[in-house]
Chains A and B, each alone.
Chain A
């Protein structure tokens, strides 16, 4: 233990274990960006392997990459790469791991994908069933006619 503590904290490595068993070795200062992990470390100082039961290895890899690289330029490129399913799962991961920067980036990215799009497009992208009756939908469209003009083509 004394030996471990004498190492500079930034070079101490931690292992994160994703829900599907994939292991990631990360530096302590990277892991600390995830406030959930930070809380874990605060509780049990000696821990070397931290289980992350709610996040798949694929998504944890992306999250770690994000933390390592994060800056504005990376943000702009980052959000373009992922499909809607991945964006949502990443957001859940970021929420669980409590990484506010990534949460913001992903919320913005999801919102951007539905900006200026028709309700039909949004339903398709999120796999949502339209449970409005035809009369209800017609009434809504009539009442807010101005909102349904000039929408991007699907």
Chain B
């Protein structure tokens, strides 16, 4: 570490050199997504070396899956054996080996990372909004309570009774996901005296879908999905309701883990907030700065097709082999006709070969019979 005139030296020195290897490893160890580590390794050559030489991707993978060393003995990449998983880093001194290890663990961590931040695709509406559009539900899609230019939060209308609940409704992303937890950050009015936090006492979640998809889609598209829709119990069919959780009066992204993962299929999520904590003047308000839905994406082989008049969805199953085939033929020409043609033409070729082989066998068989008879 460098002491002395740090404030002058630091602006010219590399973060990793300046903080020292131990402290730098500590900082980078708090990055809990393999994508972050890969991006960090692309910042410069020295950072690249640092991430790879210190096996940070391997370290992250073991934090995610400490049980892996009980199951996996070693990893092989490009027909070359990487050091066994229980091995310490020092034994893998060769740079090429370290690079292979870095890539293998980065990719494995990425593929296995059960973490999708953006299960929310859109904000639909809030049960009430104090100051629309400045304090609208759309702000809750932004992390934190402020952007560069302004504060970013949703605030309900004021109520004289603290018992009046509020709800926020979001559209989930169209792919299928299994929702495991929801994170909510209450809003702290940092610009008000005393920085009050406008949280609720309790919170719960409901997952479902709209009764009238087209009506809702149209309302969203035209920006007229209203607070009335949120309050109207006939608008939605709720397929899952979570228990109530206690919300803390703290300005942090609070995590609520569902007792069991809940299936979200192109539907909606409702965040229900009960019990107003904070007053301003005569009225009680609830304010939220950020909402995040964490889930596990289900296999790519399933897709969600548009809904039926029954109000339910059709799931399309497209196994990987067929998908690759149709994807590659669709690259040249995306219309159905040409896909059918390439599909038909290759079947025809196969059939022709088989047919000819059958003919050959038949002819040989007949010849044999004829010679025997003679």
Contacts and interface: CB of A to CB of B under 8 A. Distances in A.
Interface of A: 53-54, 56, 73, 76-77, 85, 88-89, 91-92, 95-96, 103, 107-108, 110-112, 114-119, 122-123, 126-132, 136-137, 140-141, 143-144, 146-148, 150-151
Given A116-B33, A132-B48, 19 more contacts: A54-B3, A56-B6, A88-B18, A91-B27, A95-B1, A103-B26, A107-B23, A107-B27, A107-B30, A110-B27, A111-B27, A114-B31, A128-B43, A130-B44, A131-B45, A132-B44, A147-B39, A148-B39, A150-B118
A140 B42 contact: yes
Contact of B10 (A88, A95, A116, A150): A88
A108 B40 contact: no
Given A111-B31, A128-B43, A89 B7 contact: yes
A92 B250 contact: no
Contacts of B3: 53-54, 96
A89 B251 CA distance: 26
Contact of B14 (A112, A118, A128, A132): A128
Contacts of B26: 103, 107
B371 interface: no
Given A91-B19, A103-B26, A117 B39 contact: yes
B39 A151 contact: yes
A103 B25 CA distance: 13
A134 to B, nearest CB: 13
Nearest to A53: B3
Contact of B47 (A108, A112, A116, A128): A128
A118 B43 CA distance: 9
B35 A147 contact: yes
Nearest to A144: B38
A97 to B, nearest CB: 13
A92 B1 contact: yes
Contacts of B19: 88, 91-92
A85 B10 contact: yes
Contacts of B39: 117-119, 122, 147-148, 151
A92 B27 CA distance: 12
Contacts of B41: 140
A92 B39 CA distance: 24
B1 A126 contact: no
B6 A92 contact: yes
Contacts of B27: 91, 107, 110-111
User: What are the nearest 7 A-B pairs in CB distance?
Assistant: A111-B30, A147-B38, A147-B35, A126-B15, A54-B3, A107-B27, A144-B38
A118 B201 CA distance: 37
A77 B251 contact: yes
A54 B12 CA distance: 18
A95 B12 CA distance: 21
B189 interface: no
Contacts of A76: 250-252
Contacts of A130: 43-44
A137 B43 CA distance: 9
Given A54-B3, A128-B44, A151-B39, A115 B33 contact: yes
A139 to B, nearest CB: 10
16 contacts: A91-B19, A96-B3, A107-B26, A107-B27, A108-B30, A110-B30, A111-B30, A116-B36, A117-B39, A119-B39, A126-B14, A126-B15, A128-B44, A131-B44, A132-B42, A150-B118
B55 interface: no
B252 to A, nearest CB: 5
Contacts of A107: 23, 26-27, 29-30
A64 B187 CA distance: 29
Given A111-B30, A146-B35, A147-B35, A123 B251 contact: no
B23 A91 contact: yes
A88 B11 CA distance: 11
Interface string B140-163: 000000000000000000000000
B8 to A, nearest CB: 12
Contacts of B250: 73, 76
Contacts of B23: 91-92, 95, 103, 107
